[in-house]
Chain A
Amino acid sequence: MSLDAAFVTYLSEATMGPSRFTRSPQIRTIIVASIATSETPLPEELSPVREIPTQGPVVRRDIASSTKAVVNQLRSAGLLQVREEAEVMVSKLMADNLPKATMSRPLKPRTK
């Protein structure tokens, strides 16, 4: 489940062109083999997604919307059988890590 979440987030952050991955039908996991056209592909176990430098994902608003688009595209293509639990987890990760919207109040004119 965590791999699904990491994959979806990473895909929207890093993909600049065709991405290649393999899926094992037995264990229903997705294996990232290459994430960008200008990269010599690495074996999955050395994929950078395994070594995220920060402790947790930090999702910006622009990539959050891209991520949603990726999930929708993958699902409509019938490629990614996103489990409900994984989907809930991705939504929660995003909600927890998105910068909180701040209210801005107009300054009151100073009065003597």
Chain B
Amino acid sequence: MLATVVVQLRFHPILKTGEHYADFQERLRPRFPGYEALETQMFEMSFGPQPSPAGVVRSERVHRFLAVDEPTIAALNTTSVSIEYAAHKERATIIEDFALVLDALRAYGPVPIRLGLRYVNIIEQHRLVVHSSDEIPWSELLTPAFATVPAGLATIDSSTNYLAEVTAPRDPGKMTVKYGFLVARGAKNQHFRLDTDRFVEGPVEIDAVPALLERFSDDIFQVFMMAAGPKLIEWMEAVP
């Protein structure tokens, strides 16, 4: 049900991370022994009332450090460090892992400009069976506020898809919640996507990051509990 968790710290560019990533890897190696490099290209272009300038292309390498027996990846480039989880992890593990990454980063003197924590939940009706083999209706898996199309524009059925997005201030920072019924490419059935991005933009104290991630996790969990209907909670409690 939890598709991914991403935690990312962005900072003003540090060019020496690209040259000395081996030192960074050495700090992470006990937890993330695997390694791969990805060539990436940043394309910058702006639209708006001003005439559009020519696109700017920057190429760089992203260093990815892989955990061994779980789908978890830490990544470093000149402007950000992140960890992606593709399987559920306790909040304490996420914060501990990111603290490890930040400790390794500290040697480069990062000047942070954004911290974000994002959870994506994909709820598939056919996977959630509590007592019988019957599919549980969406109205019992989700609370009414999330199981209805905003503004009552349509009635939810198996062919009505939508994606609602709300960005609201949250002290400190903001929270973007995207939710709705969608069909993945190649899939037959709808799923419900609950995608919560909690972030703060601007200066961030490195020492404050663990406490901020705690608060962000609380906020994201609160949104999840606002969306979860009684049968979904029952199913979660039944899962060992």
22 example contacts (A-B, Cβ-Cβ < 8 A) are as follows A15-B47, A18-B44, A20-B42, A21-B41, A22-B39, A22-B40, A43-B4, A43-B84, A43-B86, A48-B178, A51-B183, A53-B162, A53-B180, A53-B182, A66-B47, A73-B55, A76-B55, A77-B43, A77-B57, A78-B57, A79-B43, A79-B57
Q: Are A73 and B193 in contact (CB under 8 A)?
A: no
Q: Are A18 and B117 in contact (CB under 8 A)?
A: no
Q: Are B199 and A23 in contact (CB under 8 A)?
A: no
**Alpha-carbon distance A50/B193, docked complex (angstroms):** 12
Least distance between B55 CB and chain A CB atoms (Å):
4
**Alpha-carbon distance A96/B240, docked complex (angstroms):** 51
Could you mark each residue 28-68 of chain A with 1 if its beta carbon is under 8 Å from any beta carbon of chain B, else 0?
Answer: 00000100001111110010101101100000000000100
State whether the Cβ of A106 lies closer than 8 Å to any Cβ in chain B: no
Shortest Cβ-Cβ A-B pairs, 4 listed: A40-B116, A73-B55, A40-B118, A51-B182
Least distance between A25 CB and chain B CB atoms (Å):
8
Could you mark each residue 143-182 of chain B with 1 if its beta carbon is under 8 Å from any beta carbon of chain A, else 0?
Answer: 0000000000000000001110001000000101010101
Write the residues of chain B forming the contact surface with A, with a CB cutoff of 8 angstroms: 3-4, 6-8, 38-47, 52, 54-55, 57, 62, 82, 84, 86, 116-118, 120, 161-163, 167, 174, 176, 178, 180, 182-185, 193, 197, 199, 201
Q: Are A21 and B40 in contact (CB under 8 A)?
A: yes
A33 CB contacts on chain B under 8 angstroms: 40
Q: Are A42 and B120 in contact (CB under 8 A)?
A: yes
B86 CB contacts on chain A under 8 angstroms: 43
**Alpha-carbon distance A52/B118, docked complex (angstroms):** 20
Give the number of residue pairs across the A-B interface with Cβ within 8 Å.
92
**Alpha-carbon distance A43/B163, docked complex (angstroms):** 19
**Alpha-carbon distance A33/B79, docked complex (angstroms):** 14
State whether the Cβ of A95 lies closer than 8 Å to any Cβ in chain B: no
Least distance between B51 CB and chain A CB atoms (Å):
11
A12 CB contacts on chain B under 8 angstroms: 47
Give the residue of B38, B117, B176 whose beta carbon is less than 8 angstroms from that of A39. Answer: B176
* Range for the number of chain A residues in contact with chain B: 20 to 34
Identify 20 new A-B residue pairs, CB closer than 8 A, beyond the known A53-B162, A69-B52: A15-B45, A15-B47, A17-B46, A19-B42, A20-B41, A22-B38, A22-B40, A23-B39, A33-B40, A38-B201, A39-B197, A46-B3, A48-B163, A51-B183, A51-B184, A53-B180, A74-B55, A77-B54, A79-B43, A79-B55
B42 CB contacts on chain A under 8 angstroms: 18-20
B162 CB contacts on chain A under 8 angstroms: 53
Could you mark each residue 5-17 of chain A with 1 if its beta carbon is under 8 Å from any beta carbon of chain B, else 0?
Answer: 0000000100101
**Alpha-carbon distance A77/B120, docked complex (angstroms):** 34
CB-CB under 8 A for A54 and B176, given A18-B43, A40-B117, A73-B45: no
Closest to B174 in A: A38
Least distance between B215 CB and chain A CB atoms (Å):
15
Q: Are B54 and A73 in contact (CB under 8 A)?
A: yes
Q: Are A53 and B39 in contact (CB under 8 A)?
A: no
**Alpha-carbon distance A104/B86, docked complex (angstroms):** 55
